[in-house]
A and B are shown apart, each in its own frame.
Chain A
Amino acid sequence: ETGVTQSPTHLIKTRGQQVTLRCSSQSGHNTVSWYQQALGQGPQFIFQYYREEENGRGNFPPRFSGLQFPNYSSELNVNALELDDSALYLCASSRASGGAKTQYFGPGTRLLVL
C-alpha cells in the first residue's frame, strides 16, 4: 500500500450539486496532485498543490478548485456538477514539487453524476 488515502470511496450526486473529495498524503510528502480518470482513458491532470499553494493546473474549468492544509492533506471541490464529471478521481502524493518525482496514488474516489 502507498499510504495515500482518499475519501469517500464512492459517491453519487445529481447535476448542479457540489462535491468535496479528500486526500491524505503519504507521510513525508508535501505535494499532492489530483487527476480525473474517465472510463477507458488515462488519468488527466487537474492541478497540484505544494506547500498549500496551487502549483500548476490542467485544462479544467474554475469550478474545479482545491485546497491543501498544513498537514499536506488536500481537498478537491467541484461545483455545478455535470454528467461528464462522472469519473474516478485520483490523488497522488510526492516528496517535493519540481521535476518528475515518483508519485504514489491513492485508491481513488468514484463519482457518479446523475
Chain B
Amino acid sequence: RKEVEQDPGPFNVPEGATVAFNCTYSNSASQSFFWYRQDCRKEPKLLMSVYSSGNEDGRFTAQLNRASQYISLLIRDSKLSDSATYLCVVNDAEYGNKLVFGAGTILRVKS
C-alpha cells in the first residue's frame, strides 16, 4: 500500500466550478500535512498547510480528518490558472523533515 494515495484524475471542470480532491495516508504518526501544486515541467510549490481545524485561503479550503487519515482540498470558483497537478504531502513520522508525496491529482479547468 502506498503511504499517500490520491485519485490521479484528471478532473476536467469548467471555469467557475467547485472541485474537491481527496487523499489518504497510511502512517497514523504523521504530524504535518500539506497540499503542493505542480505546474507542468515545473517544481512543486506549497499551496497550503492543512490543520485539524480546517483552514481556508481564498478560494481554497483544506480539511484533515486524523481518525480516518484523510485529507481534502476544495477549490471554489475554478480559474483557468488553477490547472495543475495537486500533490498531497505528509511528513514522515520518523524523519519529520522528510516529505512523503502522493502521485498527484491532475486538474484541468476549461473555458
Name A92's closest neighbour in chain B (CB-CB).
B99
B interface list, Cβ under 8 A from A: 4, 31-32, 34, 42-46, 49, 87, 89, 91-92, 94-104
B43 touches A33 (CB 8 A): no
Name A45's closest neighbour in chain B (CB-CB).
B98
Name A43's closest neighbour in chain B (CB-CB).
B101
B97 touches A94 (CB 8 A): yes
Known: A56-B95, A56-B97. Contact between A107 and B102, CB under 8 A?
no
Name A56's closest neighbour in chain B (CB-CB).
B95
Known: A42-B4, A42-B102. Contact between A31 and B44, CB under 8 A?
no
Q: A43-B44, A99-B31 are in contact. List 16 more A-B contacts (CB 8 A).
A: A33-B98, A40-B103, A41-B103, A42-B89, A42-B104, A45-B92, A48-B95, A55-B95, A58-B98, A90-B43, A94-B97, A98-B96, A103-B97, A105-B43, A107-B42, A108-B43
A2 to B34, CA, bound (A): 17
A107 to B42, CA, bound (A): 6
Name B49's closest neighbour in chain A (CB-CB).
A102
Q: Chain A: interface secondary structure? A: loop
Contacts of A56 in B (CB 8 A): 92, 94-95, 97-98
Name B96's closest neighbour in chain A (CB-CB).
A99
A105 touches B103 (CB 8 A): no
Known: A42-B87, A90-B43, A90-B44. Contact between A103 and B99, CB under 8 A?
yes
